[in-house]
Structure 1
């Protein structure tokens, strides 16, 4: 958990996250004693060492995330939860271990009277000499009594894939690849595997839609969408809602699709990040300066394959998306274009530039000395960074990426 037990008491520390650690139960006492106002605890545990744990008061803790990649003695679990009477949220991920519904019911009923949200995912590979169907039935049946079904309405699902068994509460969101199974069980009488599987999909690429453009596929919870225009009515049948969409990548932008893209933006009220790419043979598409959306803060134009000149940068800064943009990725090869963006984009906080000096580029095409080319490009970037530091306020953080000889970042 931590390499040493804390010795200083903090009267202000309320949130603690600990990742990839060894858990010694006895060290929890010292941690809790030194954080008397702890409200949120998140722990990712790689190994558990069962030693003596003496229950201590932890009445301030209201939310706990626990993930463990190691088996542990479940008798310690009861002792551990004894003084968490104000816990309202509990998320548990157990790899390689199963704790059934009877044990969880005893813990929650006896020690966690205020628990409102319970999220559980547990996985285990079952031995070849063990009947996996019987194990799965016994496990899911332990979550079928009135405590789970009627009192709390905490339903669980159980999936079997070969010798692998996975059980999780309905409130737990899986990755799409985790939903594959040979057998499916659920404590909810109205559950449907196909609907559940589609509901779990968060990422969708246009290749998927082209391959599975069937009317029975509905993906209502997409957060990342890679789309290629034009789109047809079947698209809206497959993706009926964009209310959860956070990142949109357009891989075929052109002025002829302006109305379709704007219609898509209008149906994605929580969109935050927009990536636009276009065919390298096309000139800069002017519709880029017309689109409107109220919540986009990141605009990625790296793949427009166009070096914006100073006039285009000024137009971008005055466009609806440019005015509200806080993070911009763009290709430039003119120093004054950088200054134009920084001075005119009023909400800009981060600027990432793919830079290509024409003279260096042309020279690199004429020589086969890769080391020399890389050194020349690095020198050009270093000179540009210094020039920007001289031109811009000293409060700006400006740096060249040490791994990519084209990238410059400016934090405002």
Structure 2
């Protein structure tokens, strides 16, 4: 049986298993039938541009995107280290968000402080009339004030079908969210990260979001003055609809108490707090006084691993089997593996290796982590750095900007860069962060690491006063398929 012998219905079902980029690259232009299926019969596309290569990105935009833009229901753009400057490229093509008139879910991830990116990128958000989910994930716009985004926030609150909003922005100075002036008739699930606010803001926010059901907030505010229980903190009809509350990184007891007073209908509460000391009796008093309908209470604290802690019989049975991110210093004892017996879900590992004797322990950890994507060295003896001997079939990101016992960063010379590029872990590396001794090392890495797509390189002598600009020198010697961005003097990002 050949692929072309399948019915159109089966092919359309098969197409749903592909992301849009790979689907179009594989089948577009094969013949008239496939083109008809792709550009007429496929009803919706999901386009996730995380980890897409620059080459594929440049093919997607002019060749495919104009043909499917009105059928894209999910779009994710990313400016993370695997795809730096992607949002700027998107803006430079002349494409605007309003072209995606059937878009239901939009995620913008890791927007950075690139001066070429401006708030006009968001100017037509209000035209996304079918949008139900909007996420801004880890967006860091340090050259903007939050006041520059007041209009964007108002556009969001006016979207007629938007039910889910995830807001994770960091702007210049401390304020990272501005109060909307419009009332949302649709928003039900709201997440605000890094919300440095005062208690009075909440009543205004709930007033503008009367259909809110679930509220997630993280705040670094250390507001410590007691606030009066005035009429402003009495439950309003607009806040009675909120039944789920998640508080992350809360440091202010008055802030938390004010929220409880405002939201007496909470049935599910999840709390992660810092610098607030409350015993069980105080928690019980708060729940009885302010949250009479509470049925489900989850409480989270930060816990650093210390072997002596688990000698306590009450803690000895604890096992952590779903660890995704782990930071540790070698050596580790056998009790560690009784507490963390499985590393199948580990995605990111940061290690400190104080002596060469503990190198085998790290390899044992790598052998237990089949899904490990990122490996970083926080501190390492020079003899164990770089990691030529380590092996792992899954690691794609290496951060080798660790410190030696003298608290100096290890700088790779031309020989070490060659050895790294020939090592097992270097051959498969896609994202590399490293400090080098000479510009020649950068060229060595680019030309010898065949799978490398993004290089974050630190070079101490990259200075404004230099006669030759390092970026221009690299542009001269590298193929045009590589883009070169100076994040700051001494730190350059190179991407293919």
2:494 — aligned with what?
Answer: 410
Query: Counterpart of 1:225?
Result: 326
- Looking at structure 1, the residues matched to 97 and 397 of structure 2 have their Cα atoms a distance apart, in angstroms, of 41
Matches for 1:100-179 after TM superposition, within 5 Å: 107=211, 118-121=214-217, 130=229, 162-164=253-255, 165=257, 166-167=259-260, 176-177=273-274
* Aligned equivalents of 1:351, 1:303: Cα separation in 2: 16
8 A contact 2:97–2:124 mirrored in 1: no
CA distances 1:253-305 after superposition (whole Å, capped 9, x unpaired):
5542233212323444543322114555x43557x223233443221112265
Identify which of 283, 288, 309 aligns with 2:383.
283
1:346 deviation in Å?
1.4
8 Å contact kept, 2:218–2:247: no
Q: Which residue of 1 aligns with 2:424?
A: 320
Kindly tell me: are residues 121 and 393 of structure 1, through their superposed partners in 2, closer, same or farther at Cα, counting changes over 3 Å?
closer
After TM superposition, the score normalised by the length of structure 2 is: 0.49
Take 1:278 and 1:408, find their aligned partners in 2: how far apart are those partners? 22
| Structure 2: gaps (5+ residues) | 1-95, 112-122, 140-145, 152-156, 169-175, 404-408
Paired with 1:312 and 1:170, the residues of 2 have a C-alpha distance of 58
Can you list the C-alpha shifts for 1:318-371, whole angstroms capped at 9, x where unaligned? 3232122122122332554433321121111222333367xxxxxxxxxxxxxx
Q: Is the 8 A contact 2:270 2:297 kept in 1?
A: no
Are the structure 2 counterparts of residues 303 and 177 from structure 1 closer, same or farther at C-alpha, using a change threshold of 3 Å?
Answer: same
Q: Following the alignment from structure 2 to structure 1, what is the Cα–Cα distance between the partners of residues 158 and 180?
A: 20
Q: Is 1:292 matched up with 2:383?
A: no
CA contact (8 A) 1:262 1:291 kept: yes
Q: Helix, strand or coil for the counterpart of 1:36?
A: coil
Secondary structure, counterpart of 2:363 in structure 1: helix
Question: Would you say 1:339 and 2:449 are equivalent positions?
Answer: no
1:141-192: CA deviation from partner (whole Å, max 9, x where unpaired): x79xxx96xxxxx687999965341559798876552875453248666756
Relative distance call for 1:244 and 1:36 in structure 2 (3 A) is same
* Residue equivalent to 1:388: 474
Q: Does 1:259 align with 2:360?
A: yes
Q: Secondary structure of the equivalent of 1:302?
A: coil
Secondary structure at 1:351 match in 2: strand
| 1:161/1:180 contact within 8 Å kept | no
Structure 2 residue 112 is matched with structure 1 residue 12: no
Would you say 1:351 and 2:455 are equivalent positions? Answer: yes
Change (3 A) 1:161 1:352: closer
Give yes or no for the alignment of 1:274 onto 2:375.
yes
1:291–1:176 CA distance, 2 compared to 1 (3 A): farther
Could you give the per-residue CA deviations for residues 60-81 of structure 1, whole angstroms, max 9, x where no partner exists?
A: x4533479967889xx86xx42
Task: Give the distance between the partners of 2:493 and 2:126, measured in 1 at CA.
Answer: 44
Answering whether residue 309 of structure 2 is matched by residue 209 of structure 1, we say no
Q: Distance in 2 between matches of 1:37 and 1:298?
A: 37
Whether the 8 Å contact between 1:301 and 1:329 is mirrored in structure 2 is yes
Q: In 2, Cα distance between the equivalents of 1:266 and 1:31?
A: 49
Select which of 423, 433, 439 maps to 1:329: 433
Checking the alignment, whether the CA contact within 8 Å between 1:11 and 1:36 is kept in structure 2 is no
When the two chains are superposed, the root-mean-square deviation of aligned CA atoms in Å is 5.5
Q: 1:213, 1:238 within 8 Å by CA — same for their partners in 2?
A: no
**Equivalent of 1:34 in 116, 123, 127:** 127
Counterparts of 2:330 and 2:251, CA distance in 1: 39
Q: What SS does structure 1 have at the residue aligned with 2:412?
A: coil
Correspondence 1:64 to 2:168: no
Once the two structures are TM-superposed, the CA of residue 230 in structure 1 deviates from its matched residue by 0.3
Q: 1:107 to 1:246 in 2, by over 3 A?
A: same
Distance 1:129 1:219, change over 3 A: farther
Whether the 8 Å CA contact 1:119–1:172 is kept in 2: the answer is: no
CA shift in 2, pair 1:226/1:160, >3 Å: closer
**Contact 2:375–2:398 (CA<8 Å) still a contact in 1?**
yes
Q: 1:41 and 1:329, CA in 2 relative to 1: closer, same or farther beyond 3 A?
A: closer
1:393 is paired with a residue whose SS is coil
Return the TM-score normalized by structure 1. Answer: 0.57
Instruction: Go from structure 1 to structure 2 and tell me whether the alpha carbon gap of 1:328 and 1:254 turns closer, same or farther (over 3 Å shift).
Output: farther
Q: Secondary structure at the match of 1:230?
A: coil
Distance 1:122 1:230 in 2: 34
**Change over 3 Å in CA distance of 1:333–1:163 after alignment to 2:** closer
